[in-house]
Chains A and B, each alone.
Chain A
Amino acid sequence: MQTNQLLAMFCGALLVLGLVAYLLGRSKATRVRASGTAMYAQPDQYAWFTVLSTAGPALAIGAIASFIMLLLGADIPPMLLLASCLAIACVGLVIGINMVRPDFHARQAIERVIRFILAGAAMISIFTTLGILLSIVFEAVRFFNMQNFWDFITGTVWNPGASFLEAAGRAEEGATAAQFGSVPLFAGTFMITFIAMLVAIPVGLLSAIYMSEFAPQRVRTVFKPVLEVLAGIPTVVYGFFAAITVAPIIVAVAGFFGLEASFNNALAPGIVMGIMIIPFISSLSDDVINSVPDSMRQGSLALGLTRGEMIRDIVIPAALPGIISASLLAVSRALGETMIVVMAAGMRPNLSFNPLEDMTTVTVRIVAALTGDQEFGSAETLSAFALGLVLFAVTLTLNLVSVIMIRRFREKYRVNNL
């Protein structure tokens, strides 16, 4: 029988049992109450408790059994599993009905179960992080069994193409062995990130300064959401914009100055990524600058500073931890940004400092490795996970440092809303 049919039967049966449990629990509780006995809880609460005692164990057993089947490959006949789950549900129903007694605190019992369920939901975020880490590490280890870790970190040639022939058992036909040296990929990534920051940090920070220090309230309420529109534009759209509009402009401008530029130059994705990140920096910096206590502004103005000097010498230094934190988060975003570079940066690993040349990035190679027609176990496919692991490590570090910086700021000025 199909898995989804089985699942549908299970859910259907459980729903019916749950309904029966509710009605029986409620009617029993109502009967007891009608007989004049004082009860600790309302009939509804007893009814819900019966439902929980019916469905809860059955769901738990079903989930555990499916996990065992998937993880250990144990072969439990599905019909047997279904039958035993429903049997447990029936037992739970009987027990639940029996528990409907005047001295039973049904409300507290429900409360405990709900607290348990809510805590379980909260665990999912931890599971997700663990899942990301484990799945990437697991596949990356398989990759490092095939390729030397040190060569991966320090190698300057990324040439996975030859592994295609190796995987087909025709290694000798490839002129060179596959090489997985990630340095050019990271160089390209950092170059594009650097260009993005060159655009985003000055524009974003100055916009934030204007909005929080100079602009009248009216201007601020208009322009803050307008800037946030920039953040809401999907990255695939930015990628198209970079490839179709910005790259040709850069080629033309470079040509005007007598420079040769590639159509996949690093400048176009860098600039567009910078534009994408502007609202991110401006919005965070704006919050931070606004949280600098007004007493500091008043004090510095009273000492005769001009507004500009106050901002430069008092407000910005005070807000610096927050601003650095925002910039680090922005760097982390730029490093992991995918669609813009997939569409507008090159595919060729190129170790160069000229932003007019084509370059590739880590995320581009991850996408390339996983959308090719390779089998899943091949070195090229697995290299995506190795790259992902390094990306994860770098962005995690940046995020954590940024959290520490913002916490320091918060403690210094006792701000609550950051």
Chain B
Amino acid sequence: MRQSFDDISAQLRARHRRSTRLKWTSMGALGLAVLFLVLFFADMTVKGLPAFQQAQIQVEIDYSEQASQLPLAAVNEDVRRLVSRGYLRLIPGRMRDNPELLGTRHMEWVLADGQVDQYLKGHHTRLSANEQATVEALKQEGRAELRFNTTFFTNGDSKMPELAGIASAAMGTVFTLLVTIAVAFPIGVMTAVYLEEFAPDNRFTQLIEININNLAAIPSILFGLLGLAVFISFFGVPRSSPVVGGLTLALMTLPVIIIATRTALRSVPDSIRHAAFGVGCSRWQVVRDHVLPLAMPGIMTGSIIGLAQAMGETAPLIIVGMVAFIPDVTNSFTEAATVLPAQIFTWAGEPDRAFIEKTSGGILVLLAVLVTLNATAVVLRKKFERRW
């Protein structure tokens, strides 16, 4: 059959239309992915920002004899329910430390109960109509307001939402990551140096290579099972401690560091090695004095990314018991501790509405740290990037 030119150009138009359609569809897919990201960050920010504010009310504290025994007596009965019980519990201790307070009365800004906090933020609360009226009256007098929530950054976990904070989890994260990096970094770099600079290409090194790639793709929860069975049951490392968590995460981070280090080592041109060998350096001297320093920026970038991954990991830590309720700030490698993601997980399981806010607040802090870490990695790469 013969085709007219009109037919052919119509066909061509249709073909080009299809091509354009593919272009727009694929662009739409990318847009969709970015839209997810935007929605996600918007949602977390809206939910989490209120956590950085906390209701405080101004009440008269009566440092009477009675209050040193029964802390509830320190505040007037009509506002008693509105003050954080956890805060009131601290009063007898404070009176013991400062005996001159006895018998005096002060107007003070104190931490309000979680329910008052929720009321002031316009959420549903369990306050009675009467109590709501009192809060409203206090608010009119300027004696109840939302202030910056320092407790959130200085306190450990608590069952009372107004007292719950991320300090202990943050400390636990620092300890755990110290263990992780202390174990994973040297071993990872050494492995990579061996594979790139020393090892002959034989069955043994191929086995190691396949192994490393495989380790990178093993589900993280299986590392938790390893930690539980080997570190805790077999070696008797204390459960829930930063040591066991850090070791487990170190094994998980190892492949990331190895792969990044190998790429960095490979990008150092051979001419550097030839020159060093030429002046009589031994293999180790070439690596130590020439190749490693040149590869260092790349190694650092990879390690930071690995560290950021480890920092966000939760599943293996749940298995080795790092979801404990930790009200005090940890200061040892062997005590029970919790980490930020685990704290987020614990809070997410609390039924109280106020904890949703705490969870999102914790998430914002965690994301901020992770974004900073990743941005540092990017900046490092940009700054030290070298085209040979």
Contact = CB atoms under 8 A, between A and B. Distances in A.
A70 B236 CA distance: 10
Contacts of A111: 282-284
B348 A125 contact: no
Select the residue from B16, B315, B323, B345 with max chain A CB neighbours within 10 A.
B315
A138 B233 CA distance: 12
A189 to B, nearest CB: 11
A267 to B, nearest CB: 15
Interface string B270-306: 0000000000001110000000000000000000000
Nearest to A328: B217
A278 B218 CA distance: 19
Given A234-B341, A366-B221, A227 B348 contact: no
Contacts of B318: 338, 342, 367, 370-371
A205 B37 CA distance: 17
A214 B218 contact: no
B363 A237 contact: yes
A171 B127 CA distance: 47
A208 B104 CA distance: 71
Contacts of A367: 221, 315, 318-319
B223 interface: yes
B77 to A, nearest CB: 37
Interface in A149-203: 202-203
Contact of B30 (A110, A211, A307, A396): A211
B47 A244 contact: yes
Interface in A106-122: 107-108, 110-111, 114-115, 117-119, 121-122
Nearest to A332: B217
A309 B198 CA distance: 48
Contacts of A117: 190
B220 A336 contact: yes
Contacts of A204: 29, 33
A176 to B, nearest CB: 28
A245 B214 CA distance: 34
A235 B220 CA distance: 11
Contacts of B43: 241, 245
A282 interface: yes
A395 interface: yes
Given A236-B344, A275-B36, A343-B345, A121 B19 contact: no
Interface in A318-362: 329, 332-333, 335-339, 342-343
A226 interface: yes
Given A122-B195, A131-B230, A396 B214 contact: yes
Interface stretch (B20-28, B64-72, B133-141): B20-28
A interface SS class: helix
Nearest to B225: A388
B314 A226 contact: no
A413 interface: no
Given A126-B211, A237-B366, A367-B221, A210 B34 contact: no
Contacts of B218: 129, 132, 336, 392, 395-396, 399
Contacts of A114: 284
A104 interface: no
B180 interface: no
B222 A336 contact: yes
A169 B135 CA distance: 55
B15 interface: yes
A77 interface: no
A125 B255 contact: yes
A306 B12 CA distance: 9
B187 interface: yes
B254 interface: yes
A336 B191 contact: no
A226 B323 CA distance: 31
Interface in B23-68: 23, 25-30, 32-34, 36-37, 40, 43-44, 47
Given A121-B187, A227-B33, A129 B214 contact: yes
A139 interface: yes
Nearest to A306: B19
B215 interface: yes
Nearest to A3: B236
Contacts of B40: 233, 241, 275
A128 interface: yes
A308 B284 contact: no
Given A119-B199, A125-B254, A126-B211, 10 more contacts: A125-B191, A136-B225, A136-B229, A206-B25, A213-B26, A227-B33, A236-B341, A240-B348, A275-B36, A309-B15
22 contacts: A118-B198, A125-B191, A125-B212, A126-B211, A132-B223, A206-B25, A223-B30, A223-B34, A229-B37, A234-B341, A235-B313, A240-B359, A244-B356, A279-B33, A306-B18, A336-B222, A338-B220, A339-B314, A342-B345, A367-B221, A367-B315, A403-B213
Interface of A: 4, 70, 107-108, 110-111, 114-115, 117-119, 121-126, 128-129, 131-132, 135-136, 138-139, 202-207, 209-211, 213-215, 223, 225-227, 229-230, 232-237, 239-241, 243-245, 275, 278-279, 282, 306-309, 311-312, 329, 332-333, 335-339, 342-343, 363, 366-367, 370-371, 376, 384-385, 388, 391-392, 395-396, 399-400, 402-403
Closest 6 A-B residue pairs measured CB to CB? A336-B219, A234-B312, A308-B19, A135-B229, A206-B29, A210-B26
